[in-house]
Chains A and B, each alone.
Chain A
Amino acid sequence: GNSVTQMEGPVTLSEEAFLTINCTYTATGYPSLFWYVQYPGEGLQLLLKATKADDKGSNKGFEATYRKETTSFHLEKGSVQVSDSAVYFCALLMNYGGSQGNLIFGKGTKLSVKP
């Protein structure tokens, strides 16, 4: 079936360090791919997305490239800040019966950034 696997956390980094959170997927067909972020005590916010192979999503200094050949959508940021501390979810969007989209989530990766 369709699934998303992302690296387990927690990930602890110092401020200004480079961030990579790995995400790979299994899907029949060609899904859209997303990263959502959840700050403590809040709901999920869309961080970035990519809808087809080789697309690069970017937002707030975060980037991820849709790699069909490796079925991956790794999240990167060149210099993290304390305010980036949150849980990050990778997700894919598939059709249900050809008429509806539904998100399938990874289990989430908690990121803690220390000053």
Chain B
Amino acid sequence: NAGVTQTPKFQVLKTGQSMTLQCAQDMNHNSMYWYRQDPGMGLRLIYYSASEGTTDKGEVPNGYNVSRLNKREFSLRLESAAPSQTSVYFCASSPWTGSFSGNTIYFGEGSWLTVV
């Protein structure tokens, strides 16, 4: 089972360059998320999409844009990369059937991004 798949796994960018991180899930989940992980900070939510056609800001959205292309795919774009965006990025998804207590979030394997 593929689960949540994100690409690329590793990327080095120069300051000011743009790039898109791709994410796809094959679990027919309604909700998808992008997190970043920084040393000593845990994971912080960048953007999320509760359902196809909707997106909302999370805790740290500045410098990012997202697109929920269809139910399976949720991309994260850095328009003008900055060194502060050097991080590990995780895509995630959840079924969100409407039962709050039963919800669980599943993660991809991560994308290591370095901005020089």
Contact = CB atoms under 8 A, between A and B. Distances in A.
Nearest to B31: A100
B41 interface: yes
A74 B100 CA distance: 22
Contact of A102 (B45, B102, B104): B45
Contacts of A89: 42-43
A102 B41 contact: no
A34 B110 CA distance: 19
Given A43-B110, A44-B107, A93-B103, A106 B42 contact: yes
Contacts of B40: 107
B16 to A, nearest CB: 29
Interface string B41-81: 11111001010000010100000000000000000000000
A108 to B, nearest CB: 6
B46 to A, nearest CB: 11
Contacts of B48: 96, 100, 102
Decide if the interface of chain A is mainly helix, strand, loop or mixed: strand
B100 A101 contact: yes
B100 A95 contact: yes
Residue of B45, B96, B103 contacting most chain A CB atoms (<10 Å): B103
Question: Chain A contact residues (Cβ within 8 angstroms of B): what range?
Answer: 20 to 34
A103 interface: yes
Interface in A46-92: 46, 49, 51-52, 89
Contacts of B100: 32, 93, 95, 101
A51 B90 contact: no
Nearest to B4: A43
Nearest to A51: B101
B116 interface: no
A46 B58 CA distance: 21
B105 A101 contact: yes
Contacts of A49: 104
B41 A42 contact: no
A10 B104 CA distance: 27
